[in-house]
Each structure stands twice: as structure tokens, then as C-alpha cells.
């Protein structure tokens, strides 16, 4: 049986494709996929559009079930999926709409360091980062928190670890939500999850997580880049990681606890991976409380790694991080569900916005933006692959009108990890990356093979779709020069 999608995809315009709600019984709204004609050919090759249609059956869903151009197959929801549900209309929360790695996200640190100064030290810098920032499957870190401290961390997020000395107060100003989400309930997090997270705060993990040293290769929007502190030829650092074993366990626990909820609340699902409960039900509130605690863990995790990265840079460049200009540009989550106000039928109401492999992209003037970015819109950080580029975008008004303030989160896989490993047979990916000017180190035996550039769509194609569709605007392209992986 083919894995290709064979259902309808109606072209709306050059950048949008509709799955009509008449496609299958139970769909409450249309599906909407943002993609170019070239990308839609890739997207058809797996069943992720079918998942878009399945999500459209969820109770209380508003407007559309959506997917960004980096869409690919995921658990329940597609990766790249966005859906908002209205609790007033029985709207649900679904762990599959958040994902296993709760608050997996990206942060970007800018520097004053020109590439000419760094070029001869890049190998030493990558080695120092590799030795300083723990990475790899199950690998613990040098920062340990006891149970009482962990409870405070899960409740307070980044402000807790900054107060403990892991970062600067200014970091919190440019972290989504100040690095904390209200309503976290550490008491809803299982003992097993606590144990799995113990010793992992401040660690990179494995899979597609990375720490990358980059050079600002091209600036498309000079005014926005100036506000963000990005200048051509200067180094940046991008960190991509999430809630590690703790978040994974929170998701596992929730899937088990919610397995009978659809029957209890009379919800008919086309896919049991969409297991869900009404937002305002005891089951829904319990998952939300635990999910928010895991999200706070993830922000703390990236905050501690920021501190460690600054230490490594200081060692290699023999200057304090402050003198190196290592300020945080932004940190954004891309696996999360949040209550946010949107207009529905002429009234502004709180909706539960699921973003799985999708980030916020709020436009200029949005009240949740830091003051310094109010004029340009929210920074959107879009990692590409180890061999090509990543992008910094900013949100535009179209995002609020069409996507519940959402944008893509990366290039999007086009090859499974197993297929990527098979495609690497007889090749030396590390040497191939070096030939492209990228120094790479990986803890795992197959880390570089799984994440080789060919495993991903071209991030430039993905970003172009949302730029042309009016959802976000290109600001700067970042070229990788050094990367560490698990």
C-alpha cells in the first residue's frame, strides 16, 4: 500500500492549497496547506495531508486545519500543523497537536565577532562547545537540581534559572512569554517524568537537536536586521532543543490518561493518535498543567545552554561574553499549545492554539512583543540544515488574519532517519560538510548521517512561500560554519 496522499488538494493560489471539508465524514472545517507547486509535489508523497484532514474533525476547531510548508508526517497531527479550538464550543486539547518534545524550540544569540576573527579558531570553538554543552541520547549535564528546585523550575521557567546565575536578565525580555507560561502544574508531572528530567536541564539531546555557529550571510531587510542586532559577516549561535526526557514522559503519560476521554465525552476520531479531551474538562486541564510545566523546563534548558555557550566563546576568544556582544536575539517555541485571544464571529475570545512544528509570528504592534521589536514584528527563527542555511524572519499582519499568528519552524524533513542513514552508506558526511565549510561534531554514531542536508527540504523554498503569502518577511540568512549534535 502506497504512503502517498491521494485525496483532493485544490489550488487556492500560488501559495495555498485546500482540502475541502467534503473530503471525508466528520470534517468540520477545510484543511489549508501553505506550499508552492514544487513543495506540494513532495508533500503528496506521504500521508501528512490526510492528517490535516483528520485534525479538521476535532470538536471546536476554528477556521481551518492548517499546515505550514515544512509539513511532514507526525504523531496524530502533522509536523507543521496548526489548529485552534474554541473551549466555548467544546474545543479540545490534543497531545498530538503539541508533540512528544514539548516546547522544542529555537533561540538565536548574536555576537560582535567578525568571521575574519573567527575563521582560524572555528575548529577550536566547535571542540570547546562540544566539550562544554552536553549532547547525546540520555546524556546528563553538569547542572543538577534537586526535587524542590525542579518543582520551582517547572513552575517558574527561565526566570528561575536566570536568578540562579545561568544568564542575564535581558535574556528574559526576548524569550517568548518571558521564558515562562502561566498555569504550570508541577504536581501533575509524574515521578517518572521528574526522574527522566533529572540532570538533563542544560543538555542538547539527540536527533535533530543542535547547537550551530553561523555567519550572517545576507541581509534582506536592513531596518529589521539593525533592530535585531544582525550584521553581515558577524557570528551568531543557534540552539535547537526542547524538554528532553521529562517532556517526552509528560506526553506518554497524557496519551495513556486520555485514552478513554473521547468515549467519555462522545468524541468520534478518525485516528486514535488524535486522542483528546475538552479544554475545560478535568482531563484537559490536567494535561495542560503538565504540558506547561514541561514547557517551562524546555525554556530553562535552552537558557542554561546559552550560559554554557557564552562560557565556551569567552574561553576561545579570551574575552567576557558581554564584550563579545553575545546578546539573545529571541527564543521561540514550536511544539506547544497556548490560550490566545482571536476574533470569532465578531467577538474576541480565548482559543487553544496548537502549534506542532510551527512557531508564533506576531506582527508589528502586537501587545506580546518586546518593546524593542514592537515596530518590526516578532522574530521567527527557521533552522535549515547543516549544509545550507537558516533564516531569521519577522511576523506580518497576514499571520493574524490567516494562521493564528503562526509560521513555519524549519526546512522540514523529506527523508526518514532510516532512509537518510541508508543514503549515507559509503559516504563520509563529516567530510562532505567540511568541504562546504562546516566543522561538525556528533556524539552519536549515526547523528550526522540521520541529519545530512539531503534529508531536508531546501529551507529557502519553505521560507519563500510564507514571505510571498504575506505571513512573514525575510530578514537575514545565516550560513552554518560549525555544528554540534547528539
Positions annotated as catalytic residues are 409
- CA–CA dist 411, 407 (Å, integer): 12
Angle at 484 between CA 483 and CA 486, to 5 degrees: 145
- CA–CA dist 447, 482 (Å, integer): 15
Evaluate whether 480 touches 473 at the Cβ level (below 8 Å).
no
- CA–CA dist 312, 110 (Å, integer): 15
Please, how many CA atoms are within 13 Å of residue 228, restricted to the half-sphere of its CB?
A: 33
Distances (CA, A) of 289 to 74, 181, 300: 23, 10, 17
Cα–chain-centroid distance for residue 68?
A: 12
Evaluate whether 158 touches 150 at the Cβ level (below 8 Å).
no
- CA–CA dist 103, 301 (Å, integer): 10
Where on the phi/psi map is residue 229: left (φ > 0), alpha (ψ -120 to 50), or beta?
Answer: left
Q: Is the sign of the CA dihedral 312, 318, 322, 326 positive or negative? A: negative
Distances (CA, A) of 429 to 102, 185, 425, 434: 30, 43, 10, 9
Decide: helix, strand or coil at residue 439: strand
- CA–CA dist 16, 279 (Å, integer): 30
CB-based contacts of 418: which residues, under 8 Å, 6+ apart? Answer: none
Please, how many CA atoms are within 13 Å of residue 75, restricted to the half-sphere of its CB?
A: 15
What would the grid cell of residue 19 be? 482540502
- CA–CA dist 66, 51 (Å, integer): 10
Q: How many CB atoms lie within 10 A of CB 41?
A: 10
- For residue 228, the surrounding DSSP H or E stretch is helix 222-228
What would the grid cell of residue 285 be? 486541564
What would the grid cell of residue 460 be? 529557502
Give the CA diameter of the chain: 64
User: What DSSP letter does each residue of 102-164 carry, written as one string?
Assistant: TT-EEEEEEEEEEHHHHGGGHHHHHHHHHHHS--STT---S----HHHHHHHHHH-HHHHHHT
Amino acid at each position: 500500500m502506497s504512503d502517498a496522499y491521494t485525496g483532493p488538494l485544490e489550488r487556492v493560489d500560488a501559495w495555498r492549497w485546500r482540502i475541502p471539508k467534503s473530503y471525508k465524514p466528520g470534517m468540520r472545517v477545510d484543511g489549508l496547506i501553505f506550499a508552492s507547486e514544487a513543495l506540494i509535489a513532495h508533500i503528496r508523497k506521504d500521508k501528512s495531508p490526510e492528517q490535516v484532514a483528520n485534525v479538521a474533525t476535532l470538536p471546536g476547531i476554528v477556521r481551518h486545519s492548517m499546515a505550514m510548508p515544512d509539513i511532514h508526517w507526525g504523531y496524530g497531527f502533522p509536523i507543521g500543523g496548526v489548529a485552534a479550538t474554541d473551549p466555548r464550543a467544546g474545543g479540545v486539547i490534543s497531545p498530538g497537536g503539541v508533540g512528544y518534545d514539548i516546547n522544542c524550540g529555537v533561540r538565536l544569540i548574536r555576537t560582535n565577532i567578525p568571521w575574519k576573527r573567527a575563521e582560524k579558531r572555528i575548529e577550536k570553538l566547535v571542540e570547546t562547545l562540544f566539550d562544554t554543552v552536553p549532547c547525546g541520547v540520555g546524556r546528563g549535564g553538569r547542572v543538577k537540581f534537586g526535587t524542590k528546585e525542579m518543582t520551582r523550575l517547572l513552575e517558574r521557567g527561565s526566570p528561575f534559572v536566570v536568578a540562579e546565575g545561568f544568564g542575564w536578565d535581558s535574556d528574559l525580555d526576548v524569550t517568548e512569554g518571558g521564558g515562562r507560561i502561566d498555569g504550570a502544574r508541577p504536581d501533575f508531572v509524574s515521578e517518572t517524568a521528574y526522574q527522566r528530567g533529572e540532570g538533563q536541564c542544560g543538555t542538547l539531546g539527540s536527533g535533530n537537536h543542535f547547537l550551530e555557529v553561523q555567519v550572517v550571510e545576507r541581509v534582506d531587510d536592513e531596518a529589521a536586521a539593525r533592530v535585531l542586532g544582525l550584521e553581515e559577516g558577524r557570528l551568531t549561535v543557534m540552539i535547537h532543543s526542547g524538554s528532553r526526557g521529562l517532556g517526552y514522559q509528560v506526553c506518554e503519560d497524557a496519551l495513556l490518561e486520555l485514552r478513554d476521554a473521547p468515549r467519555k465525552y462522545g468524541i468520534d476520531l478518525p485516528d486514535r493518535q488524535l486522542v483528546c479531551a475538552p479544554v475545560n474538562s478535568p482531563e484537559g486541564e490536567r494535561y495542560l498543567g503538565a504540558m506547561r510545566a514541561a514547557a517551562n523546563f524546555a525554556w530553562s534548558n535552552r537558557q542554561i545552554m546559552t550560559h554554557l555557550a557564552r562560557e565556551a566563546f569567552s574561553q576561545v576568544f579570551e574575552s567576557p561574553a558581554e564584550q563579545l556582544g553575545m546578546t539573545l536575539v529571541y527564543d521561540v517555541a514550536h511544539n506547544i499549545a497556548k490560550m490566545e485571544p482571536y476574533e470569532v464571529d465578531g467577538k474576541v475570545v480565548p482559543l487553544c492554539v496548537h502549534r506542532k512544528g510551527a512557531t508564533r509570528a506576531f506582527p508589528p504592534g502586537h501587545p506580546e512583543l518586546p518593546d524593542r521589536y514592537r515596530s518590526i514584528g516578532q522574530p521567527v527563527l527557521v533552522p535549515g540544515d547543516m549544509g545550507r542555511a537558516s533564516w531569521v524572519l519577522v511576523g506580518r499582519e497576514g499571520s493574524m488574519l490567516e494562521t493564528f499568528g503562526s509560521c513555519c519552524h524549519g526546512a522540514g524533513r523529506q527523508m526518514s532517519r532510516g532512509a537518510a542513514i541508508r543514503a549515507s552508506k559509503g559516504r563520509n558526511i563529516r567530510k562532505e560538510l567540511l568541504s562546504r565549510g562546516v566543522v561538525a561534531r556528533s556524539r552519536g554514531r549515526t547523528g550526522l548521517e540521520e541529519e545530512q542536508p539531503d534529508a531536508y527540504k531546501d529551507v529557502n523554498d519553505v521560507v519563500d512561500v510564507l514571505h510571498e503569502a504575506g505571513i512573514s518577511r525575510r530578514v537575514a540568512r545565516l550560513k552554518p560554519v560549525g555544528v554540534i549534535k547528539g
